Amino acid sequence: MENNDKNINWIAKILSKNASADEQQALDQWRTQAPDNEDLYASSQKIWDLVEHSENSPKEVNLDQAWAKFENKLQDRMVEPKGSVISIWTRRLVVAAVLTIGVFGYWWTQSSGDQPMAYSTQSGETLEVQLPDGSKVILNENSELAYDQKFTPRTIKLTGEAFFDVTKSGETFTVNTEKTQVTVLGTSFNIRAYTNQADAEVAVLTGKVAVDLAKADKPTGVVLVAGEKAVLDNNTQQLSKAISNTNNVVSWQTKKLNFKNTTINDVVNTLERHFDIDIQPTENILKCHFTGRFDEANLDEVLQTIAFSLDLQVDKDSDTIKLSGEGCQSSSNE
């Protein structure tokens, strides 16, 4: 075994082009000595080559968004005072003023440790909030977020939908919604808990999350890992676990939709949520499958593409969209 370890070090050196000519030659010889040697080398090389093509794309990059953010930072830096015109006296005054505010501000934050902080969004708005512990929350539209300024323990109240990227610390991070309690250590996840909607949903992008019912007497919860979600059925008050399409869970944030052999039923659910509309597919097309990607596409473009690929008809009412068609024979293309 130890020998094998040495050989792998050797192979890694060859593959990464760090070996000398002598080492290269020695290895070539070693490879011919036993079929196992050659196997070890060949399989290592395959992995080495494959890794190059592993596209490690965490999220799709939105250049316009990234640039907008960057431009803001850039402007912040550019408005820093040049400082040559101000006389020494004015400078002192400025310093004094800043100090006063500083001291006052310090006193104020100290004395108001449990000052409630609240953020809310209107229709069509999203808001990024940085919490005192460095965690990031992106609040979707018509949502509310509240916490104590002191933020110990790390507890937050949410109505509506938000994406959380939680900074890791020894202390748990808890999100209370009307009906659920979500506890994490450090991770990113999406919670959807609008009061006017039937089901609450928690989807996990990275890390591990525990979800419990808000008023549970005994532990009723489920533990989720990346790629899973918990759905609370409002009628039965039961939490159930399911596989989550993490791409589309945060589509409200990324503006991207991604379907891979997805049933029309699921496609419709995603679109309804993404565009905040009502879509009614006829029963016979629910089992059809659709594959496709959309980047910042509008509703019409998406509907047209789906309708075209599955030969569906789209009828738009004032506030409902009807989808109908012949249905699909062999529904899955896998």
Partner 1 sequence: MSTNIPDDKLLDRLRANDPSVLKAIFYKYYTTIYRVTYRFVSNDATAEDLAQDVFMKFWEKREQLNIRESLGGYLRRMAVNEALGYLRKNKKIELEEIDNRTMGGTAQSGEDLYLGGELEEVLNKAIESLPPKCKTVFLLSRFEQLTYREISERLGISIKTVENQMGKALRVLRKWLANYSTMIAFLFWWI
Binding site for partner 1 (CB under 8 A): 5-6, 8-13, 15-18, 43-44, 46-48, 50-59, 61, 63, 66-67, 69-70, 73-74, 77, 136, 165, 168, 186, 188, 208, 225, 227, 243
Closest CB to partner 1 among residues 30, 48 = 48
Residues whose CB falls within 8 Å of the CB of residue 90, separated by 6 or more in sequence, listed in order: none
Residue 132 Cβ, how far from partner 1 at the closest point, in Å?
16
The least CB distance from residue 302 to partner 1, in Å, is 24
Tokens of 197: 């909607």
Least distance between partner 1 and beta carbon 195 (Å): 29
Tokens of 9: 């070090």
Give yes or no for a contact between 153 and 171, defined as CB atoms under 8 angstroms apart.
yes
Closest contact distance (angstroms) between CB of 63 and partner 1 is 6
Residue 16 or 329: the one with the smaller Cβ distance to partner 1 is: 16
Q: Nearer Cβ to partner 1, position 194 or 252?
A: 252
Instruction: Assign 231 to helix, strand or coil.
Output: strand
CA distances from 143 to 89, 139, 158, 171, 301 (A): 48, 6, 7, 26, 28
For partner 1, the closer of residues 168 and 179 by Cβ is 168
How are strands ordered across the β-sheet holding 320-325? 278-281, 320-325, 312-316
Cβ proximity to partner 1: between 128 and 301 the closer is: 128
Q: Comparing C-alpha atoms, which of 327, 273, 282 is closest to residue 302?
A: 273
Phi, psi of 201 (to 5 degrees): -145, 140
Cβ atoms of 142 and 118 closer than 8 Å: no
Q: Which is nearer to partner 1, 72 or 237 (CB)?
A: 72
**Shorter beta-carbon distance to partner 1: residue 207 or 292:** 207
| Distance in Å, CB of 179 to partner 1, minimum | 28
Reported as type and span, the H/E element at residue 163 is strand 154-165
Please state, in angstroms and rounded to a whole number, the distance separating the CA atoms of residues 150 and 132.
8
- Contact by Cβ (8 Å): 190, 249: yes
In the complex, least distance from residue 113 CB atom to partner 1, rounded to whole angstroms: 26
Q: How far is the CB of 279 from partner 1 (least distance, A)?
A: 28
